[in-house]
Structure 1
Amino acid sequence: MTTDESSWNRVVALHARIENELTKALSRRHGLGLSEYRALSRLVAAVDKSCSLRIQELADMLCLNQSSVSRLVARLEASGLTERDICEQDRRGIYTMITTEGRTRFTQAEPTYQETLKTALDKAAADPDLATAVVAFRTLTPA
Structure 2
Amino acid sequence: MPTTPDGPADARMWNRLTALHAQVESRLATALQRRHGLGLSEYRALGLLTEAPESELRMQDLAAGLGLNQSSVTRLVARLGAADYTYRDVCPDDKRGVYTVLTDAGRTRHREARTTYEQTLTTALDEAATTTPDLAPLLTTARRSLS
**Would you say same fold, with TM above 0.5?**
yes
The residue matched to 2:49 in structure 1 has which SS? helix
Between 34-43 and 16-25, the greater mean CA deviation after superposition: 16-25
**5+ unaligned residues in a row in structure 1: which ranges?**
none
Q: Does 1:138 align with 2:143?
A: yes
The aligned residue for residue 93 of structure 1 is: 97
Q: What fraction of aligned residue pairs are identical, expressed as a percent?
A: 54
Q: Does 1:78 align with 2:79?
A: no
The aligned residue for residue 4 of structure 2 is: none
CA contact (8 A) 1:14 1:130 kept: no
CA contact (8 A) 1:10 1:129 kept: no
Report the CA distance between 1:134 and its aligned residue: 2.4
Cα distance in 2 for partners of 1:139, 1:64 equals 29
Larger helix proportion, structure 1 or 2? 2
Cα distance in 1 for partners of 2:25, 2:134 equals 17
The aligned residue for residue 61 of structure 2 is: 57
Q: Does 1:27 align with 2:29?
A: no
Mapping of 1:4-43 within 5 angstroms?
Answer: 4-43=10-49
For residues 89-140 of structure 1, the C-alpha deviation after alignment (integer angstroms, 9 at most, x for no partner) is: 1211100001111011001001111111111110111113543442343244
Cα distance in 2 for partners of 1:82, 1:97 equals 5
Letter in 1 for 2:64: D
CA contact (8 A) 1:11 1:133 kept: no
RMSD: 1.5
Number of aligned pairs? 140
The residue matched to 1:126 in structure 2 has which SS? helix
- The structure that has the greater radius of gyration is 2
Letter in 1 for 2:112: Q
| TM-score normalised according to structure 2 size | 0.89
Letter in 2 for 1:63: G
